[in-house]
Amino acid sequence: MPLDHYVTLGRSGLRVSPFALGAMTFGEDPGGAGCSVEESEKILQTYLDAGGNFVDTANFYTNGHSEKILGDFFAARPGLRSHVVLASKFFGNMHPGDPNGGGAGRGSIIAQLEESLRRLRTDHLDLYWLHNWDRHTPIEETLRTLDDLVRAGKIRYVGFSNTPAWVTAQAQTTALLRGWTPLVALQVEYSLLARTVEGELAPFALDQGIALTPWSPLKNGFLSGKYRRDTSVTDSARTAFVGGPSDEEYAVIDVVASIASALETTSAAVSLAWLRARPGTVVPIVGARRLEHLTGNLAGLDVTLSAADLARLDEVSAPALDYPAPMHGAQRAMLQFAGTTVDGEPSTVYPPLLQSDVRY
């Protein structure tokens, strides 16, 4: 499946590549954790040459340098910007000492967008994400501001990232009832090693026709293939920041490696292929600090997992979901269907009914 086999992003008219390119690592300011301008441009050009059209960044990634690299790249190639779906985020405060410099209030959203547009050297964003939940601002204020920006032509579509399910549901319902711009996508942590999104947000997105764009689809590189029980990892900077996999995570890593070996591909490709096979529209965000990272990740488009492989991965990575999710499985069917099969879902009889058929 090439990058130019596009998918529609949620209930919208926006067509995007099956993998988005994450630009969080573009730029070396601050801390040196990212990559140089030259390497960033190589990564971006390779992605675009392969048919990719969906690039994701945020206002505070590498202290604004990520947005500037993207802006300079497109400005040097007239006409290219109009063929790329460019997304950025607001929330992060880049003005120390100013309580209104970030967050999701009306003034701060407008100011953050103007700064992003300046760095990106464009007059609009195709997708604008709320990067995190601002519990100090009414969600109605955030939504109305975003709708005003859509009507003004400054942004085209709206998405949320890292927000609680109840806030997301409240926001979508409010937008729909008031005729404001609804959400078309949710950017969430999602991978074989991070599946708790399946408790609330993923079912909500599936029900509402909202796309999921998973960040960290390889879980800090744990699913890249370089982490093995019997080998040491040389990426000391990352290891120092996030630590190493736990025994439970290694159990998943081992199965991924086994399937990758059988398919003669990489663990990263298997992990990304698993995400692509999830219900609904799922568009993983792949990042890279070196060009070979990107090309390795794109191999995930060439892998189709069998039903047996998917079942193995589902089983070994099954998450422990918070209440009330445990009430919605076999116990719910037992209580609701009383031994019948409904929509292909079988059930057993609730034990007390086996003792008597008395009805009070």
Active site positions, annotated = 61
Dmax over CA atoms of the chain, in Å, equals 80
Structure tokens at 294: 């990107």
List Cβ<8 Å contacts ≥24 apart for 198-207.
198/319, 198/321, 199/165, 199/319, 199/321, 199/322, 199/325, 200/165, 200/325, 201/165, 201/168, 202/278, 202/279, 202/280, 204/165, 204/168, 204/169, 205/280, 206/279, 206/280
Contact 139, 147 (CB under 8 A): no
Tell me which residue has tokens 């040459």.
49
Among 360, 2, 22, smallest CA distance to 189 is for 22
Contact 216, 191 (CB under 8 A): yes
Q: How many residues does the chain have?
A: 360
Crossing angle of helices 291-298 and 37-49, rounded to 10°:
20
Structure tokens at 100: 């209104």
Who's near 8: CB < 8 A, 6+ residues apart?
14, 15, 16, 281
d(CA 14, CA 10) in angstroms, rounded, equals 8
DSSP 180: P
Contact 230, 224 (CB under 8 A): no
